[in-house]
Structure 1
């Protein structure tokens, strides 16, 4: 018996990194997982390996969201779990960030989360409730230089989570945000040995599976938690260890 037997979960950005780790663990606990991504070959291969389904999805496209959710509702059943994981980063200071780049980051990282929440709300209501986990970042807790659009998007996800939790609580839908620090994913390639981790209480980069375990807890066991943030960052937001 798995913790999620009979549940249907959709994971965006599910073909690699944290999304892939989430999909694998949710499936191992009994969920029927829909891997949603733009990387069709990798996404299909992962879905096949875990007994799930793959669906092509640009999270910033409202029409694609509607089509995917309608298809899942019809062919699999009502969605119980949504992991809004898809995201991108742009390393640009605020003074030189082009509007096109700003809009792209906000469109995927924040508007994509909004569209996901809105698109699955009725499906979850029909299922009797559900859980939405929005993957933000420590950049939704504190500021970072040269990441203006990314930081704005991740703070937005944190605020949207709280508003959605208040709106959807009456329908037995919980909404929480997860705030990873440095995690070993394609987005952080080349940063694994960075000195930035040396001052953390846990002085190393995190692994995608560590975030997935937190997400599993949130969807399966944290039944009295909604609207709040959960941090997996090696203690980075606590402060810096000073070697004096």
Structure 2
């Protein structure tokens, strides 16, 4: 796979990217724009328009992904402005680090609403457009917590486990209509999901690769899975975590 081949495949396609104002989402919007795609860049941050690339092909959209109206609105905007929807990237995500006994119902509901319900709502609305087109690709941003866990991330791990199962089920429902659904199980990526990004840098040193990832590294795999070059990828959780998911702790 080369950048030229990938860019040729993606040029002219239309995407919705959630969590677009920072981290993986922002890097993905930038890469998609470089490849000549049109993008609805969605984020709860009202400043998203100042944080994504400027241009007629990138439209900022302010919305809470866990709100049904936001999912409907983002997909409608893509179709009304660009005439179709080819790619959905469910990237928005939050975390709280608390033991189970200290996790409030509000903590739990916020994490599930953003990480799992938000992905469900956007997937549902995107598939309503993609199935009649007989084409589309949905890429969900998961985590090594799709399969594994550690203390203090019960709500986050539950949400990512749900996301993995949503990926598999939607993939089975979509594939006969030309819609592919896959997920990426990322490891530590230097984003603002924590108040202290340096904590991600330090935690990443515990992976076999001995570092955390840059958001652009994840964006490149998103672009591949979004493209026709990944036409045989269906319902998979692509582990992209520097080896964290295969290492046995010393």
TM-score, normalised via structure 2 length: 0.91
Cα deviation, residue 47, structure 1: 4.0
Counterpart of 1:215 in structure 2 is 222
Alignment of 1:130 with 2:128, yes or no, is no
Whole-Å Cα distance in 1 between the matches of residues 101 and 51 of structure 2? 41
Alignment of 1:201 with 2:211, yes or no, is no
Counterpart of 1:62 in structure 2 is 68
Counterpart of 2:234 in structure 1 is 226
Residues 177-196 of structure 1 aligned to structure 2 (within 5 Å)? 177-188=183-194, 189-194=197-202, 196=203
Q: 1:50 to 1:90 in 2, by over 3 A?
A: farther
Alignment of 1:165 with 2:171, yes or no, is yes
My pick for the range that moved more, 59-68 or 13-22, is 59-68
Q: 1:97 to 1:56 in 2, by over 3 A?
A: same
Structure 1 runs (4+) greater than 6 angstroms displaced: none
Whole-Å Cα distance in 1 between the matches of residues 157 and 117 of structure 2? 14
Alignment of 1:175 with 2:203, yes or no, is no
Q: 1:130 to 1:85 in 2, by over 3 A?
A: same
Q: 1:192 to 1:171 in 2, by over 3 A?
A: same
TM-score, normalised via structure 1 length: 0.93
Are the counterparts in 2 of residues 13 and 87 from structure 1 also a CA contact under 8 Å?
A: yes
Whole-Å Cα distance in 2 between the matches of residues 64 and 19 of structure 1? 17
SS of residue paired to 1:3: helix
Are the counterparts in 2 of residues 58 and 64 from structure 1 also a CA contact under 8 Å?
A: yes
Gap runs ≥5 in structure 2: 1-6
Cα deviation, residue 37, structure 1: 0.6
RMSD: 1.7
Q: 1:193 to 1:73 in 2, by over 3 A?
A: closer
Are the counterparts in 1 of residues 22 and 51 from structure 2 also a CA contact under 8 Å?
A: no
- Which among 26, 48, 63 is matched to residue 54 of structure 2? 48
Whole-Å Cα distance in 2 between the matches of residues 128 and 20 of structure 1? 28
Whole-Å Cα distance in 1 between the matches of residues 10 and 30 of structure 2? 12
Cα deviation, residue 63, structure 1: 1.7
Whole-Å Cα distance in 1 between the matches of residues 33 and 123 of structure 2? 21
Residues 107-146 of structure 1 aligned to structure 2 (within 5 Å)? 107-146=113-152
Are the counterparts in 2 of residues 138 and 181 from structure 1 also a CA contact under 8 Å?
A: yes
Counting matched residue pairs gives 241
My pick for the range that moved more, 210-219 or 49-58, is 49-58
Q: 1:193 to 1:172 in 2, by over 3 A?
A: closer
Alignment of 1:236 with 2:244, yes or no, is yes
Whole-Å Cα distance in 2 between the matches of residues 149 and 241 of structure 1? 23
Gap runs ≥5 in structure 1: none
Alignment of 1:95 with 2:91, yes or no, is no
Cα deviation, residue 29, structure 1: 1.3
